Structure 1
Amino acid sequence: MKADKSLLNGSATLLVLSLLSTGDKYGYQMIAELEEQSDHTFSMKEGTLYPILHTLENTGSVESYEKEAPTGRKRKYYHITKKGLRLLGEKKEEWTAFSQAVNAVLAGSAPALA
Protein backbone atom coordinates (compact mmCIF):
# COMPACT_ATOMS: atom_id res chain seq x y z
CA MET A 1 0.00 0.00 0.00
CA LYS A 2 1.37 3.40 -0.97
CA ALA A 3 1.38 5.97 1.82
CA ASP A 4 -0.28 9.36 1.37
CA LYS A 5 2.44 11.72 0.06
CA SER A 6 1.69 14.25 2.80
CA LEU A 7 2.65 11.64 5.39
CA LEU A 8 5.99 11.07 3.67
CA ASN A 9 6.65 14.80 3.35
CA GLY A 10 6.27 15.30 7.08
CA SER A 11 8.77 12.57 7.90
CA ALA A 12 11.16 12.80 4.93
CA THR A 13 14.00 14.49 6.83
CA LEU A 14 13.78 11.87 9.58
CA LEU A 15 13.90 9.07 7.00
CA VAL A 16 16.87 10.55 5.11
CA LEU A 17 18.86 11.09 8.32
CA SER A 18 18.01 7.58 9.46
CA LEU A 19 19.27 6.10 6.18
CA LEU A 20 22.52 8.07 6.45
CA SER A 21 23.03 7.04 10.08
CA THR A 22 23.92 3.54 8.85
CA GLY A 23 26.62 4.77 6.48
CA ASP A 24 27.46 7.09 3.61
CA LYS A 25 25.17 6.80 0.60
CA TYR A 26 24.52 8.40 -2.77
CA GLY A 27 21.09 9.66 -3.82
CA TYR A 28 19.74 6.75 -5.83
CA GLN A 29 21.00 4.34 -3.16
CA MET A 30 18.94 6.19 -0.52
CA ILE A 31 15.84 6.09 -2.72
CA ALA A 32 16.25 2.35 -3.34
CA GLU A 33 16.97 1.53 0.32
CA LEU A 34 13.97 3.55 1.50
CA GLU A 35 11.68 1.61 -0.84
CA GLU A 36 13.20 -1.73 0.12
CA GLN A 37 13.23 -1.11 3.88
CA SER A 38 9.63 0.13 3.83
CA ASP A 39 8.43 -2.84 1.76
CA HIS A 40 7.68 -0.37 -1.07
CA THR A 41 5.41 1.75 1.11
CA PHE A 42 7.62 4.83 0.67
CA SER A 43 8.75 5.99 -2.75
CA MET A 44 10.80 9.18 -2.73
CA LYS A 45 11.50 11.07 -5.94
CA GLU A 46 14.81 12.78 -6.68
CA GLY A 47 12.94 16.11 -6.67
CA THR A 48 12.07 15.48 -3.03
CA LEU A 49 15.35 13.93 -1.88
CA TYR A 50 17.89 16.43 -3.22
CA PRO A 51 16.31 19.58 -1.74
CA ILE A 52 16.27 17.81 1.65
CA LEU A 53 19.94 16.84 1.25
CA HIS A 54 20.88 20.39 0.21
CA THR A 55 19.06 21.86 3.22
CA LEU A 56 20.76 19.37 5.55
CA GLU A 57 24.11 20.20 3.96
CA ASN A 58 23.53 23.96 4.35
CA THR A 59 22.78 23.50 8.06
CA GLY A 60 25.86 21.32 8.63
CA SER A 61 23.86 18.16 9.36
CA VAL A 62 25.20 16.39 6.27
CA GLU A 63 28.40 16.66 4.26
CA SER A 64 28.93 15.52 0.67
CA TYR A 65 31.93 14.27 -1.26
CA GLU A 66 32.57 12.70 -4.64
CA LYS A 67 33.89 9.18 -5.07
CA GLU A 68 34.45 7.04 -8.11
CA ALA A 69 32.10 4.09 -8.43
CA PRO A 70 33.29 0.65 -9.61
CA THR A 71 31.89 1.58 -13.03
CA GLY A 72 34.32 4.51 -13.19
CA ARG A 73 31.55 7.06 -12.85
CA LYS A 74 31.80 9.71 -10.10
CA ARG A 75 29.03 9.73 -7.56
CA LYS A 76 28.16 12.27 -4.90
CA TYR A 77 27.97 10.61 -1.49
CA TYR A 78 26.40 12.06 1.64
CA HIS A 79 27.70 11.63 5.18
CA ILE A 80 25.81 12.46 8.38
CA THR A 81 27.71 14.72 10.80
CA LYS A 82 27.57 14.87 14.61
CA LYS A 83 25.11 17.74 14.24
CA GLY A 84 23.04 15.54 11.94
CA LEU A 85 23.04 12.72 14.49
CA ARG A 86 21.76 15.14 17.14
CA LEU A 87 19.05 16.31 14.71
CA LEU A 88 18.15 12.67 14.02
CA GLY A 89 17.70 12.12 17.77
CA GLU A 90 15.43 15.17 17.98
CA LYS A 91 13.41 14.06 14.95
CA LYS A 92 13.01 10.56 16.42
CA GLU A 93 11.67 12.06 19.66
CA GLU A 94 9.24 14.24 17.69
CA TRP A 95 8.08 11.22 15.68
CA THR A 96 7.60 9.09 18.79
CA ALA A 97 5.50 11.76 20.50
CA PHE A 98 3.48 12.37 17.32
CA SER A 99 2.82 8.69 16.60
CA GLN A 100 1.85 8.02 20.23
CA ALA A 101 -0.65 10.87 20.09
CA VAL A 102 -2.13 9.63 16.79
CA ASN A 103 -2.33 6.07 18.13
CA ALA A 104 -4.05 7.31 21.30
CA VAL A 105 -6.72 9.06 19.24
CA LEU A 106 -7.15 6.02 16.99
CA ALA A 107 -7.42 3.67 19.96
CA GLY A 108 -10.23 5.79 21.40
CA SER A 109 -12.22 6.06 18.19
CA ALA A 110 -15.39 4.09 17.61
CA PRO A 111 -15.41 1.56 14.77
CA ALA A 112 -16.77 2.95 11.53
CA LEU A 113 -20.22 1.89 10.43
CA ALA A 114 -20.26 -0.32 7.36
Structure 2
Amino acid sequence: MDAQLKKGLLEVCVLVSLKKEESYGYKIISDISPYIEVSESTLYPILKRLESTGCLTTRTKEYNGRLRKYYMITEAGNRKIRESIVDLDELKRVYEFIYKESGSSVL
Protein backbone atom coordinates (compact mmCIF):
# COMPACT_ATOMS: atom_id res chain seq x y z
CA MET A 1 0.00 0.00 0.00
CA ASP A 2 1.19 3.50 -0.77
CA ALA A 3 2.87 4.98 2.33
CA GLN A 4 0.98 8.30 2.22
CA LEU A 5 -2.37 6.59 1.77
CA LYS A 6 -1.59 4.21 4.64
CA LYS A 7 -0.56 7.11 6.89
CA GLY A 8 -3.89 8.84 6.32
CA LEU A 9 -5.84 5.64 6.85
CA LEU A 10 -3.94 4.89 10.05
CA GLU A 11 -4.81 8.31 11.44
CA VAL A 12 -8.51 7.69 10.85
CA CYS A 13 -8.27 4.14 12.26
CA VAL A 14 -6.69 5.52 15.44
CA LEU A 15 -9.43 8.12 15.81
CA VAL A 16 -12.18 5.57 15.19
CA SER A 17 -10.65 3.23 17.76
CA LEU A 18 -11.04 6.02 20.33
CA LYS A 19 -14.68 6.88 19.57
CA LYS A 20 -16.17 4.56 22.19
CA GLU A 21 -13.65 5.09 24.98
CA GLU A 22 -10.23 6.40 25.81
CA SER A 23 -7.34 4.03 25.26
CA TYR A 24 -3.56 3.64 25.40
CA GLY A 25 -0.97 2.80 22.75
CA TYR A 26 -0.74 -0.99 23.05
CA LYS A 27 -4.54 -1.35 23.13
CA ILE A 28 -4.92 0.90 20.08
CA ILE A 29 -2.45 -1.30 18.20
CA SER A 30 -4.39 -4.41 19.25
CA ASP A 31 -7.68 -2.85 18.14
CA ILE A 32 -6.59 -1.82 14.65
CA SER A 33 -4.01 -4.51 13.79
CA PRO A 34 -6.62 -6.95 12.43
CA TYR A 35 -7.45 -4.33 9.78
CA ILE A 36 -4.19 -2.58 8.98
CA GLU A 37 -0.59 -3.26 9.95
CA VAL A 38 0.75 -0.87 12.57
CA SER A 39 3.77 -0.92 14.86
CA GLU A 40 4.67 1.11 17.93
CA SER A 41 7.22 3.08 15.90
CA THR A 42 4.43 4.05 13.51
CA LEU A 43 1.67 4.62 16.04
CA TYR A 44 3.32 7.00 18.47
CA PRO A 45 4.24 9.68 15.90
CA ILE A 46 0.64 9.50 14.65
CA LEU A 47 -0.69 9.95 18.19
CA LYS A 48 1.66 12.90 18.73
CA ARG A 49 0.57 14.50 15.43
CA LEU A 50 -3.14 13.99 16.21
CA GLU A 51 -2.61 15.52 19.63
CA SER A 52 -0.75 18.51 18.20
CA THR A 53 -3.59 19.18 15.73
CA GLY A 54 -6.20 19.05 18.49
CA CYS A 55 -7.78 15.76 17.42
CA LEU A 56 -6.77 14.06 20.68
CA THR A 57 -6.20 14.95 24.28
CA THR A 58 -4.22 12.91 26.79
CA ARG A 59 -4.08 12.12 30.45
CA THR A 60 -1.77 9.92 32.47
CA LYS A 61 -2.80 7.37 35.05
CA GLU A 62 -0.79 4.98 37.17
CA TYR A 63 -1.08 1.33 36.13
CA ASN A 64 0.95 -1.42 37.84
CA GLY A 65 3.32 1.16 39.33
CA ARG A 66 3.96 2.93 36.02
CA LEU A 67 2.38 5.92 34.36
CA ARG A 68 0.28 5.06 31.32
CA LYS A 69 -0.79 7.68 28.79
CA TYR A 70 -4.43 7.55 27.75
CA TYR A 71 -5.74 9.19 24.57
CA MET A 72 -9.22 10.67 24.10
CA ILE A 73 -10.80 11.90 20.90
CA THR A 74 -11.94 15.54 20.68
CA GLU A 75 -14.62 17.18 18.57
CA ALA A 76 -11.88 18.06 16.05
CA GLY A 77 -11.04 14.35 15.89
CA ASN A 78 -14.68 13.46 15.30
CA ARG A 79 -14.84 16.09 12.56
CA LYS A 80 -11.73 14.57 10.95
CA ILE A 81 -13.46 11.16 10.92
CA ARG A 82 -16.53 12.63 9.20
CA GLU A 83 -14.36 14.39 6.60
CA SER A 84 -12.37 11.20 6.01
CA ILE A 85 -15.54 9.21 5.39
CA VAL A 86 -16.41 11.60 2.56
CA ASP A 87 -12.91 11.11 1.13
CA LEU A 88 -13.16 7.33 1.51
CA ASP A 89 -16.50 7.30 -0.33
CA GLU A 90 -14.82 9.10 -3.23
CA LEU A 91 -11.86 6.73 -3.12
CA LYS A 92 -14.24 3.75 -3.15
CA ARG A 93 -15.88 5.07 -6.32
CA VAL A 94 -12.45 5.44 -7.95
CA TYR A 95 -11.52 1.85 -7.03
CA GLU A 96 -14.86 0.60 -8.35
CA PHE A 97 -14.17 2.36 -11.65
CA ILE A 98 -10.68 0.86 -11.86
CA TYR A 99 -11.95 -2.66 -11.14
CA LYS A 100 -14.89 -2.32 -13.53
CA GLU A 101 -12.93 -0.84 -16.43
CA SER A 102 -9.95 -3.17 -16.00
CA GLY A 103 -12.18 -6.22 -16.10
CA SER A 104 -11.05 -7.39 -12.67
CA SER A 105 -13.40 -9.63 -10.72
CA VAL A 106 -11.79 -8.74 -7.40
CA LEU A 107 -13.72 -6.26 -5.22
Q: Same fold, TM exceeding 0.5? A: yes
1:34-80, CA deviations, whole angstroms, 9 ceiling, x for partnerless residues?
Answer: 124x2xxx2201111111111111111100110122x2322100000
Which residue number in structure 2 is paired with residue 54 of structure 1?
48
Counting matched residue pairs gives: 104
**1:111 Cα deviation after fit:** 4.5
Identity across the alignment (%)? 33
**1:108 Cα deviation after fit:** 2.0
TM-score using structure 2 length: 0.85
TM-score using structure 1 length: 0.80
For residue 41 of structure 2, give the secondary structure of its aligned residue in structure 1. Answer: helix
Rounded to whole Å, the distance in 2 between the matches of 1:30 and 1:101 is 29
Choose which of 23, 26, 29 in structure 2 pairs with 1:25: 23
1:55-111, CA deviations, whole angstroms, 9 ceiling, x for partnerless residues?
Answer: 111111100110122x23221000000111111110111112112211221122124
Rounded to whole Å, the distance in 1 between the matches of 2:16 and 2:49 is 16
Q: Which runs of 5+ in 1 are unaligned?
A: none
Rounded to whole Å, the distance in 2 between the matches of 1:110 and 1:97 is 20
